[in-house]
Amino acid sequence: MKWLVLALMLVLGTAQGYPLYGSNGAVDCTIFGTFKDPIVPGNTNSYQVLLYFDLSLVRGQLNNGSAVEAAYSLTDGNHRVYNMRSEYTKELQPQRWLIGFLVPKEAIAQSLTIDPSADPSAGGQFTIDMGSLINSSNGFATAYYYGVLSSTLASNRKSIEMDVGLTNNDTSKLSISAKNWSLIDQWGWKYNCQRLGSSDQRLAVVALEPNQTIRSVLFFSRLSPLSRPTKLVYQYTNESSIILDIDTESGLLANLLESQPQDSCCSQGQAQVEDPSTLAGSIKASKARLAKVREDLNTTS
Same fold, 14-129 and 134-300: yes
Which 3 state secondary structure label does DSSP give 1? Answer: coil
Cα four-point dihedral sign 213, 11, 163, 98: negative
Q: Is the bond leading into 261 cis (omega within 30 degrees of zero)?
A: no
CATH number for 134-300: choose from 3.30.300.280, 2.40.100.10, 2.60.40.1240, 3.40.50.720.
Answer: 2.60.40.1240
* Record: fold of 14-129: Immunoglobulin-like (2.60.40)
Q: Are strands 229-237 and 195-196 parallel, antiparallel or unpaired?
A: unpaired
The number of CA neighbours under 13 Å toward the Cβ of 222 is 8
pLDDT digits (tens, 9 = 90+) for 176-227: 999 999 999 999 999 999 999 876 677 778 999 999 999 989 999 999 999 9
Q: Residue ranges per domain, the chain? A: 14-129, 134-300
What are the per-10-residue average pLDDT scores of the chain (301 residues)? 34 56 95 89 78 93 78 95 96 94 93 94 94 91 91 91 94 94 96 87 85 92 95 92 86 44 40 48 57 60 48
| Cα–Cα distance, 72 to 75 (Å, whole number) | 10
The pLDDT of residue 272 is 46
| Cα–Cα distance, 68 to 122 (Å, whole number) | 7
pLDDT digits (tens, 9 = 90+) for 142-162: 999 998 888 888 889 999 999
Element (H, E) at 29: strand 27-38
Say if residues 70 and 122 touch (Cβ distance below 8 Å): yes
The pLDDT of residue 249 is 72
Which 3 state secondary structure label does DSSP give 142? Answer: strand
- Sorted by sequence, the CB contacts under 8 Å of residue 278 that are 6+ apart come out as none
Residue 4's DSSP bridge partners are 215
The pLDDT of residue 262 is 43
Which 3 state secondary structure label does DSSP give 26? Answer: coil
Kindly give the residue spans of alpha helices, DSSP state H, lying in 53-196. Answer: none
Say if residues 241 and 297 touch (Cβ distance below 8 Å): yes
| Cα–Cα distance, 70 to 116 (Å, whole number) | 4
The region, left, alpha or beta by phi > 0 then psi within -120 to 50, assigned to residue 222 is left
| Cα–Cα distance, 290 to 253 (Å, whole number) | 14
User: Phi first, then psi: what are they for 146, rounded to 5°?
Assistant: -100, -15
